[in-house]
């Protein structure tokens, strides 16, 4: 099954064999035996590569789930012997990977130095999918889903979004402005895959206008840089403004409405976490509860 999954991902027997550190003939032999046992063709030759067949794709979906369960079972047995030496598989959106996630892992490892982390960055929908599919045990997410059939979680904090402007902007000297003051501006916006885009557009609509999108970006650093270069204005999380750079926009509070996002921690619904992941989850809940009674604003955490 491991050989099959690797060949399916690489679409090349030689490359799969190299990553598995086995002979190419061993991989080919195992794939042939698997096809004979199943009575179907899993791959067809396409030039120098292999192309997975429809039957192979269906089999791959099931096998990946089985392999994830097997990996988790082995990990849980090891963690049962010592949950402070296991591995936490956790996902996160880009905006939380700049300051928040490294800070939390560093603080956790002060107490549990032998715990390892497997990190995966993703968009809102991808993080939920990876939790449901068993590829992740926990994931930071923003916003926290109101309800879900497949995942459950807890609110960690609520973070304010700030307006950012080029230094030469006419409003750059203000400490705060109503959001409607930006209605005639060109916005630098996150792409459709990011939940921050939905939050910003909803806030603009509540202020009485639909934002004109001049540029799009995938990461907060890109958004911040484009604004600083004079290509528009934007709203980004407070956390994303804590790290300074040579090309720095002006920050100001947005009022009427105050724009916020929730940050939560999710896991699979009605399923017990691996011991080490549950230890990390409890650490996070205690950390945010201790650091902020109201869970409002990012600056107080760092």
Using the Cα atoms of residue 91, residue 94, residue 97 and residue 100 in order, give the sign of their dihedral.
negative
**Reported CATH class of domain 159-261:** alpha beta
d(CA 96, CA 94): 5
**Reported CATH class of domain 2-77:** mainly alpha
What residues does CATH 1.10.10.10 cover in the chain?
Answer: 2-77
Buried b (16+ CB within 10 A) or exposed e, 219-249: bbbebbbbbbeebbbbbbbbbbbeeeeeeeb
* pLDDT (0 to 100) of residue 221: 87
What residues does CATH 3.40.190.10 cover in the chain?
Answer: 84-157+262-295, 159-261
pLDDT tens for the chain, 302 residues long, are 889 999 998 888 888 889 888 999 999 999 999 999 999 999 998 888 889 999 999 999 889 888 888 887 887 777 666 778 788 999 999 889 888 999 999 999 999 999 999 999 999 999 999 999 999 999 999 998 887 789 999 999 999 999 999 999 999 999 999 999 999 999 999 988 888 999 999 999 999 999 999 999 888 888 999 999 999 999 999 888 887 777 789 999 999 999 999 999 999 998 989 889 999 999 999 999 987 544 445 555 55
* pLDDT (0 to 100) of residue 208: 96
Helix (H), strand (E) at residue 83 = none
* pLDDT (0 to 100) of residue 295: 43
Q: What is the pTM of this model?
A: 0.70
Overall fold of domain 84-157+262-295 = D-Maltodextrin-Binding Protein; domain 2 (3.40.190)
Instruction: Indicate the average pLDDT of the chain.
Output: 89
């Amino acid at each position: 099954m491991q050989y099959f999954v690797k060949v399916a991902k690489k679409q090349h027997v030689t490359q799969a064999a190299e990553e598995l550190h086995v002979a190419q003939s061993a991989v080919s032999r195992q794939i042939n035996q698997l096809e004979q046992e199943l009575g179907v063709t899993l791959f067809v030759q396409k030039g120098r590569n292999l192309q997975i067949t429809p039957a192979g794709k269906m089999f791959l979906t099931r096998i990946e789930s089985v392999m994830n369960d097997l990996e988790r079972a082995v990990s849980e047995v090891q963690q049962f012997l010592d949950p402070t030496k296991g591995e936490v598989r956790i996902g996160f959106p880009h905006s939380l990977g700049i300051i928040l996630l490294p800070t939390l892992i560093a603080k956790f490892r002060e107490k549990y130095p032998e715990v390892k982390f497997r990190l995966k960055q993703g968009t809102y929908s991808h993080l939920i999918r990876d939790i449901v599919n068993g590829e992740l045990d926990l994931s930071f997410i923003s916003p926290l889903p109101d309800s879900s059939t497949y995942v459950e979680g807890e609110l960690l904090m609520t973070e304010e979004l700030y307006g950012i402007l080029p230094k030469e902007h006419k409003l750059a000297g203000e400490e705060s402005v109503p959001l409607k003051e930006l209605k005639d501006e060109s916005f630098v916006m996150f792409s459709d895959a990011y939940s921050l885009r939905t939050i910003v557009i909803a806030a603009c609509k509540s202020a009485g206008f639909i934002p004109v999108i001049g540029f799009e970006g995938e990461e907060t650093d890109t958004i911040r840089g484009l604004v600083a270069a004079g290509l528009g204005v934007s709203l980004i999380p407070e956390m994303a403004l804590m790290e300074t750079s040579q090309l720095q926009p002006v920050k100001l509070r947005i009022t009427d409405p105050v724009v916020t996002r929730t940050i939560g921690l999710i896991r699979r619904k009605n399923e017990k976490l691996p011991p080490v992941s549950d230890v990390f989850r409890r650490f996070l809940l205690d950390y945010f509860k201790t650091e902020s009674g109201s869970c409002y604003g990012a600056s107080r955490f760092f």
